[in-house]
Amino acid sequence: MRVAVIGTGYVGLTTAVSLAMNGHDVLGIDLVEAKIVQLQKGKSPIYEPGLEEALALVLKRGNLEFTTNIADAREAEILFVCVGTPESADGTADLSYVYAAASDVEALHRSAPRKRVVVIKSTVPVGTGDRIAEKLRELDGLHVVSNPEFLREGNALEDALHPSRIVIGTAHEAAAETMEQLYQGVNAPRVATTRANAELIKYASNAFLATRISFMNELARLSGALGTDIVTVALGMGLDSRIGPEFLRAGVGYGGSCFPKDTIALLQLAHQNGISMSILEKVREVNATQPIWFLEQLHKRQGNVAGKKIAVLGLAFKPETDDIREAPSLKILEALQNAGATVAAYDPIAAQVVRPLFPQVEYVGNPAEAFKGAHAALLITEWKECIHLDWEAIKSDMAVPLLLDGRNAWPSQSLKDAGFDYTGVGRS
């Protein structure tokens, strides 16, 4: 099928590449000319494992092209809207890019009418798809579908090619059939529903996952006070088939582009409709305070950190991405600098993105350099390079062998046995 994807950010680029890999002829559209030039050369503007290699492959095959001009999509049967919906000052989703894309689609369809499906893949508040459909209702042959994405950063291409489910929101039979044709051969459960239901499925999914994380982080604080081990507790919980093991890992909090903005957007939507969502409000409160709670564990053991070297391992909000949006590391770097600490940081991908924000931090080329002379080391992102280390050499290099494991990823017992002062998140 002939497909156009409006927006070549994280979701748009992954969507375009995955559809091209599945044999469709795809046109990626973006207003930023420099980005389009970069993509035409096979260079991805974002880091995502396997994405750049797949991009080069489909470009070579001729399944994927890029342009800044939406008029080039006149032959497209399906138009995906994959633009950003950032958080506004009041916490609501900023839909200006979505409505601008809808206006571009309207202009395209008026100049080159044909049967088309407009697919809203951007995360939008409930009712947005219906409002766009109303805006475009006078255009014959044009139908609006909600088809939310469920991509995990660091695993996005795999999720796009092998999705956990495909949600298709539309009341129009022909549009639904077009979407089934698009996803023919993709083995995943289908949910056929309304646009509003599809939109709420996306928000509800992210809010529930965020809730699991914050629940475990709050439970980890209690576990630390009780002297119990949150890792073992999570294992026992996860074996219950009603709960499952996913998103039960305690840590320094969630970040990224989805959970923070989607939880606040859902809260604002609830408030606008006179509904209280106190659980979700607590989720956000726990997440906001978790990095501060983690640093309190450092101060309990190290006291005043002014003039002391602190190693920070990992800056991205999770491994296998360069995304630092709402990353816990940013709060931690700021707090350490405000406390007068000297910070040495390592991240294999995200350091170059963080450097302009914290130019006074020393950014080192490998984890071992960060530990040298350090009075404490904090694991913030569990990159494999930050976990599999020569601990004997590290112990001799550190000024004080104090380790704070913000992801419960270091080998706690063997480190204690080796003479390290080890502290995890809610670990005995």
Active site residues: 258
Give the integer Cα–Cα distance in Å for 5 and 19: 10
Give the integer Cα–Cα distance in Å for 147 and 167: 6
Give the integer Cα–Cα distance in Å for 177 and 161: 20
Q: Which amino acid type is present at position 100?
A: A
* Residue partners of 224: CB distance under 8 A and separation at least 6: 230, 297, 425, 426, 427
* Residue partners of 209: CB distance under 8 A and separation at least 6: 247, 259
Total Cβ atoms within 10 A of residue 159: 17
* Residue partners of 17: CB distance under 8 A and separation at least 6: 51, 54, 55, 58, 64, 157, 160
Q: Which H or E run includes 312?
A: strand 309-313
Contact indicator for 100, 61 with CB cutoff of 8 Å: no
- Cα 365–371–373 angle (5° rounding)? 120
| Beta-bridge partners for 145 | 119
Radius of gyration of the chain measured on its C-alpha atoms: 24
Residue 364 buriedness (CB in 10 A; 0-12 / 13-18 / 19+): middle
Sign of the dihedral through C-alpha 299, 303, 306, 310: negative
Residue found by looking up tokens 């996306």 in the block: 202
